[in-house]
A and B are shown apart, each in its own frame.
Chain A
């Protein structure tokens, strides 16, 4: 079965190419069958491969595809690498991806560009699979750029809207900044290790200059923060919500944005060799999770709340990576994929029912009108706030416990994680209360409430996984080494739950819509500051965008060309001046000749 590994990415790729070649000639039902069917096959195949893989004692498996880059002295094959880490990533991508594709088929069915949509979605899955399966950093980079491209295309899917187009561009360019950092990291790694094959690098016994290695690692982190929307390259993610909601679920919650986490986990042996680098990773995660939590609290757009929440949860994963809990980080990556996909898809169902209304203050009272969807939302949110027993609980706990103990993290970062848990609870229940309780702030007919079955079918597996996914036991011992089980005082283990309860209580007090007054967003200066993403957009606008635009305006005609224009002008002028002397008057010529002779004689006398 493992020989079929290459078929898994090939399935969505084939589907994407087929859909592209027959653009406009397939009926929506054919499109959905191809787009979703290929994903289903990929997911089932992944399952089969995974079962055999674990039955085989999880022995890592390589598959060479073809000779790709004949770099002098370090020829590089395109090859796939299957191990405990990549099989879990594959499972998440194909499994959750399948559900989201299924949902999307129903969600986008009436869109006239549904075929184009599935081209991008399938292509995205292909690229994401290459990212996690690639055995070299270059193949990983191919997937890395590929998912970036698909993200760009899907954010700007409804491309007649200037806002969507701008958001797509922003996402691509901001992540491209990170990608460039990563590319520089690859250059350093290549010059140090003479190879770009991941296994060769991480198992290398070469003695490497630690400062170069530090630089390489920090540049890889640069790439990771770009893709994973962490500080300081996080600004693109909230705007990326311009894409259709299934896209937000698949790309900007479940899979692509976690690529940075995967990258660091994949390259962790390098990070372990460098003093202080994991500490930086932990700090990035901790700062992001708190700041994003604050920003989430100030949003009124349901998708933006979830976007900031994603950012914050990936902050936890970074914290986990920084605290040496690589397995915990990947575990949280998986559970997060379950519950965040669920949250986005339920949000999508709500948005669809509300006729594309995304403002939570225009919803309200949905528990009565949409009981099933609201229950799903509740389950997702409970997993998000790490309600004991839910999937998010186990993974977040694993990260926080490790954080407290790790020498690269410690109690201060743990407290920040706890603060993040409090903020998570606060914004989650704020969302729940405002959307599902209180009076209805919308005008929908009774008929609008009929549940659409395809949407629900795709959600059920996700609901199950969000609720119970924490009981899946993942074994990463061959990748990250044997798991450790630290024993800490009980209060440390229960603190995150306690603050979550406090968050719930405060949300109840502040945000629960009382029956007699409509809930309204508040508009303090601090509130606005948080809502606008804590000033980063403003800063980058002034530091990068505006100077660039100024340069473009001022120098459009190319200053270098002015020099050549001057040369041309000078010659023409000289010509005009000399033409004056050629006036046909013999007397002038005579004077000229005499003056010339006098000048020459004078010069001769002078110099001799």
Chain B
């Protein structure tokens, strides 16, 4: 562990907050400057995280509430680096797609965007459960604001729904966190919120199970898992494009990340015991999400339901707790982050042009916008698991791994492969093929550049997935050694 860089590490969180405030202020003085400041600060952060990543694992711990032994503790390892880079890259995408889309309160918009980025990065870095909870809340509020202020026609409803679901479930997590700290006190004599310290605790089976459930529900809502998913279609649909990109690309991943960082290592026995139920719910999410995606006629809603289906694979993989499956979970997290963000940004571009998200009002758009059609096709194909692109690897690894543990569940989950083809083609063909309903302008240069970058990323991670897996290898191997000792 390198400790010299502790100040730098905290910059990953404080810098976006600061830049957010600057962007807000600057936009008031000079219209359009907010865009650039946000873009530069995110790019700077990206470079910073690469630099920190090149130094190896690093950590930081400042005493915060000494009375309760709460620390401002961060841990920056390979997996965290991976997630932070994904976050920043997609945040840049979010800025790019909303370059012209946002008309009102532009400064405040960028403030919120960077604020939620700070929260999300905090969630990925936190090594103290109390801090984790704080960041969990921090990322929620600006996101709600993004939906509430810059959202579409039903934004109030969607924002409140999003808020209530997340808030109610994170309350359970808070209770579980406090209970954990108290449990630490009874076992060792002092309170602790530190993830590393809590890992050595042993629990009575019932206690472990309930504590695990407290966290699990909070993360399952974020993931989201059927039947706790119904906030997501509304939130995604109503959010501005940047919001959808962040929501689908990263926010959902915090749920999966929580499962990897907290639920699995802290409660291995309970996780094993709970696995059949979790895996069943994961498979249910895959199938139900796919069916619901097919049922939709709203572009963004369809993609939202497809996210539920894809994140079901992550749940299946994590609770199979098998090496290849865990690799699959990580690959899916990254791949889905890119591909769903890509589809949402495409949805945003279409909505910006035709002022509708109904695929019924589209049709035959290939004729007028061939570039857009081609790139959308690539995104859709990535989403339905075309080999050679990133998402396929995730699905393949997940299925290969979980088949060793839950063969029946895996076979049903594989039906999701058919399902994704059905809704994916439904989406693509209704929008871009068939008789020409509507003429739209093709991708502009700026749009072409960032969508092409996404295409490159999808292929690159499809052909070179080891980059993702090398980064997460340490985390996964420690998880596996925990699994070996666990007794359900």
Where the two chains meet, the residues of A that have a C-beta atom closer than 8 Å to any C-beta of B are: 20, 23-24, 66-73, 78, 116, 138, 141-142, 145-146, 149, 152, 156, 159-160, 162, 165, 168-169, 172-173, 176-177, 179-180, 183-184, 186-188, 190-191, 548, 551-553, 555-556, 558, 560-561, 563-564
Contacts and interface: CB of A to CB of B under 8 A. Distances in A.
Contacts of A173: 418, 421-422, 425
Interface in B402-434: 403-404, 407, 410-411, 414-415, 417-418, 421-422, 425-426, 429, 432-434
Contact of B386 (A149, A168, A553): A149
Given A72-B324, A183-B417, A145 B295 contact: no
A70 B466 CA distance: 6
Contacts of B233: 558
A584 to B, nearest CB: 30
B148 interface: no
A244 to B, nearest CB: 16
Contact of B393 (A69, A149, A169, A186): A69
B403 A146 contact: no
Contacts of A553: 295
Given A142-B388, A160-B367, A173-B421, A561 B466 contact: no
8 contacts: A69-B465, A142-B387, A142-B388, A159-B432, A179-B417, A555-B295, A560-B226, A560-B230
Contact of B323 (A72, A78, A165, A183): A72
Contacts of B364: 159-160
B327 A71 contact: yes
B381 interface: yes
A176 B292 contact: no
B425 A184 contact: no
Contacts of A67: 466
Given A66-B463, A173-B422, A558 B292 contact: yes
B335 to A, nearest CB: 13
Contacts of B488: none
B366 interface: yes
Contacts of A188: 403
Contacts of B397: 69, 71
Most B CB within 10 A of own CB, among A142, A176, A558: A558
Contacts of B466: 67, 70
Nearest to B421: A176
B435 interface: yes
B399 interface: yes
A165 B367 CA distance: 14
Most A CB within 10 A of own CB, among B294, B371, B404, B421: B421
Interface in B352-368: 364, 366-367
A138 B230 contact: no
A598 B436 CA distance: 74
Contacts of A556: 295-297
* 9 A-B pairs with least C-beta separation: A552-B295, A142-B387, A561-B230, A72-B323, A159-B433, A187-B403, A176-B421, A70-B466, A180-B417
Most B CB within 10 A of own CB, among A20, A70, A180: A70
A84 to B, nearest CB: 26
Interface residues of B, number: 53
Given A160-B435, A173-B422, A23 B367 contact: no
Nearest to B327: A72
Contacts of B323: 72-73
Given A145-B386, A176-B418, A187-B410, A165 B324 contact: no
A72 B404 CA distance: 13
Contacts of B422: 173, 548
A144 to B, nearest CB: 8
A216 to B, nearest CB: 12
Nearest to A548: B294
Contacts of A168: 429, 433
A551 B294 CA distance: 10
Interface string B276-299: 000000000000000110111100
What DSSP secondary structure best describes chain B's contact surface? helix
A561 B407 CA distance: 30
Contact of A187 (B414, B415, B434): B414
B329 to A, nearest CB: 12
Given A23-B370, A146-B387, 11 more contacts: A69-B397, A72-B327, A73-B323, A142-B387, A159-B434, A173-B422, A186-B400, A555-B291, A556-B295, A556-B296, A560-B230
A179 B433 CA distance: 24
A164 to B, nearest CB: 8
A146 B296 CA distance: 27
B366 A159 contact: yes
Nearest to B470: A70
A351 B80 CA distance: 61
A216 B456 CA distance: 35
Given A66-B463, A179-B417, A187-B403, A138 B324 contact: no
Contacts of A177: 418
A188 B371 CA distance: 40
Given A159-B433, A172-B425, A176-B421, A187 B327 contact: no
Given A138-B396, A551-B295, A561-B230, A180 B418 contact: yes
Nearest to A169: B425
Contact of B381 (A78, A149, A191): A149
B56 interface: no
A20 B377 CA distance: 13
Contact of B421 (A73, A78, A172, A184): A172
A556 B417 CA distance: 21
A362 B425 CA distance: 35
B399 A187 contact: yes
B57 to A, nearest CB: 21
Interface string B214-242: 00000000000011011001000000000
A156 B295 CA distance: 23
B326 to A, nearest CB: 8
Contacts of B227: 560, 563
A180 B324 CA distance: 20
Nearest to B477: A72
A183 B433 contact: no
A452 B294 CA distance: 47
